[in-house]
Structure 1
């Protein structure tokens, strides 16, 4: 492959990876720092190094993210061979060995995943993402001066022309649209944009209580996201841990000693 093609393909790889979300946090794995390396090699193949924030991250969560990475790589325009390597996870050896043997992620995690219905788990995370995105847009419209009645009467054409200042509402506007259409693909364009996860209309008088419920979802996700980032940042500093893997309490209480700087 010509060297001139590598940068454009490299950019395409990263663009696809930004579409893969941490399912629990609804944030791109690239922004969370989980993708440590994504490289297009000279023969056009792709190599990915993936690292989660803790050694004990749920194998179910690992499966959902790695499966998202696989689907992203399958959409690359030149259909390359690829290698995804999971690092520093309690099941990294089994996962990497399975991938090298050509097994699918489903085959690998059928034995490793906890006793949960992954389909139900996906649906739970989709619901949380729907609510978090909706709450950001609703708050943005309120801040923009629209009344609750005007907001809840919006259909898709009105929604599409709404504009926000740069910020969370602007970022979440297209993402909420995508979540709404994924949840209700057969909806009419004149149907209300803002409905509950179950598809029920929200009366204007109930919007305050609805937002309070959504706020609880967001706060929980933001807390988990901050904890996740902190764990990853602390874990992968140079550490000198004598007695093995630090515990969650060690990280939270900042009791993990840093490695002393080398002396001349």
Structure 2
């Protein structure tokens, strides 16, 4: 009984940690995107991960950022297991998996695959988009609670922590924006304004509508990319939905969608 309890606890912790890793472009958990195909704890406590992206030609830089996030998540597991991560059906899967088996870091593996693109700059671009998307969600929620723009923009962290944002996803959005703010501005002091631009500039109450329009454009772009990514993955792998053992309408439709092939290079 005790062994089963430990196993269940470890499995919950494993999936919780993996759920904290986001697709950097979409700011959505890789577990919800379906990229973690398998995450198993084997007999000796080791962890095996099978990872699959929506297309064969997904940018190696995107793959690096996600796999590096997976590595960091596994390093934080309380029982410090040995682990194996395998990337499947990707144009650089062989190089990545061989590098992992040889004990190379993800940084070493991808250094020769990333070309001239600056991984650090790419990571910051995605962090900026996530910051803006999370900020918009919170600002709109606070408006829906009846606060004026002046009251919202005058909030500091202390006021924010006791504020109620409403039901549903509001509590999660509140926490994720707080995390993004503290990560971006770790030296913020008590009383500093809560809502600032990515560059740290104050947002004037009279300018909030225009600022929200810019945030909305970022969100729409991210939502479009997310829908496209899910569609590509579903079309590629034809994930079946079964109800009471019978194929659903989704199965019927997806069986008739032609396979997508990688574009010619």
Q: TM-score, normalised by structure 1?
A: 0.89
Give runs of aligned pairs for residues 192-207 of structure 1, distance below 5 A.
Answer: 192-207=193-208
- Aligned partner of 1:142 in structure 2 is 143
Give distance in 1, aligned partners of 2:173 and 2:37: 25
Change in CA separation of 1:238 and 1:174 when aligned onto 2, cut-off 3 Å: closer
Quote the offset at 1:65 in angstroms: 0.2
CA RMSD of aligned residues (A): 1.8
Give distance in 1, aligned partners of 2:5 and 2:163: 41
Quote the offset at 1:207 in angstroms: 0.2
Question: Given that residues 136 and 168 in structure 1 are in contact (C-alpha distance below 8 angstroms), is that contact kept between their aligned partners in structure 2?
Answer: no
- Aligned partner of 1:177 in structure 2 is 178
- What is the SS of the residue equivalent to 1:30? helix
Unaligned runs of 5+ in 2: 241-255, 261-265
Quote the offset at 1:5 in angstroms: 2.1
Question: Given that residues 37 and 52 in structure 2 are in contact (C-alpha distance below 8 angstroms), is that contact kept between their aligned partners in structure 1?
Answer: yes
Question: Given that residues 3 and 42 in structure 1 are in contact (C-alpha distance below 8 angstroms), is that contact kept between their aligned partners in structure 2?
Answer: no
Change in CA separation of 1:66 and 1:238 when aligned onto 2, cut-off 3 Å: closer
Aligned length: 244
Quote the offset at 1:166 in angstroms: 2.4
Change in CA separation of 1:4 and 1:255 when aligned onto 2, cut-off 3 Å: closer
Quote the offset at 1:115 in angstroms: 1.8
Quote the offset at 1:189 in angstroms: 1.8
- Aligned partner of 1:157 in structure 2 is 158
Give runs of aligned pairs for residues 103-142 of structure 1, distance below 5 A.
Answer: 103-142=104-143
Change in CA separation of 1:56 and 1:257 when aligned onto 2, cut-off 3 Å: closer
- Aligned partner of 1:245 in structure 2 is none
Give distance in 2, aligned partners of 1:21 and 1:221: 13
- Aligned partner of 1:244 in structure 2 is none
The superposition leaves residues 99-139 of structure 1 with CA deviations (integer Å, 9 ceiling, x where unpaired) of 11111111110111132100001110110000000000000
Question: Given that residues 55 and 236 in structure 2 are in contact (C-alpha distance below 8 angstroms), is that contact kept between their aligned partners in structure 1?
Answer: yes
Quote the offset at 1:170 in angstroms: 2.9
Change in CA separation of 1:121 and 1:164 when aligned onto 2, cut-off 3 Å: same
- What is the SS of the residue equivalent to 2:32? coil
- Aligned partner of 1:54 in structure 2 is 55
Question: Given that residues 156 and 190 in structure 2 are in contact (C-alpha distance below 8 angstroms), is that contact kept between their aligned partners in structure 1?
Answer: yes
- What is the SS of the residue equivalent to 1:235? helix
- Aligned partner of 2:263 in structure 1 is none
Unaligned runs of 5+ in 1: 240-253, 259-264
Quote the offset at 1:21 in angstroms: 0.5
- Aligned partner of 2:17 in structure 1 is 16
Question: Given that residues 13 and 76 in structure 1 are in contact (C-alpha distance below 8 angstroms), is that contact kept between their aligned partners in structure 2?
Answer: yes
Give distance in 2, aligned partners of 1:85 and 1:56: 16
Quote the offset at 1:13 in angstroms: 0.6
Give distance in 1, aligned partners of 2:59 and 2:15: 25
- Aligned partner of 2:258 in structure 1 is 256
Change in CA separation of 1:7 and 1:168 when aligned onto 2, cut-off 3 Å: closer
- Aligned partner of 2:251 in structure 1 is none
Quote the offset at 1:23 in angstroms: 0.3
Quote the offset at 1:234 in angstroms: 1.0
Q: Does 1:208 align with 2:209?
A: yes
Change in CA separation of 1:87 and 1:257 when aligned onto 2, cut-off 3 Å: closer
- Aligned partner of 1:94 in structure 2 is 95
Question: Given that residues 18 and 73 in structure 2 are in contact (C-alpha distance below 8 angstroms), is that contact kept between their aligned partners in structure 1?
Answer: yes
Question: Given that residues 138 and 170 in structure 2 are in contact (C-alpha distance below 8 angstroms), is that contact kept between their aligned partners in structure 1?
Answer: yes
Question: Given that residues 60 and 114 in structure 1 are in contact (C-alpha distance below 8 angstroms), is that contact kept between their aligned partners in structure 2?
Answer: no
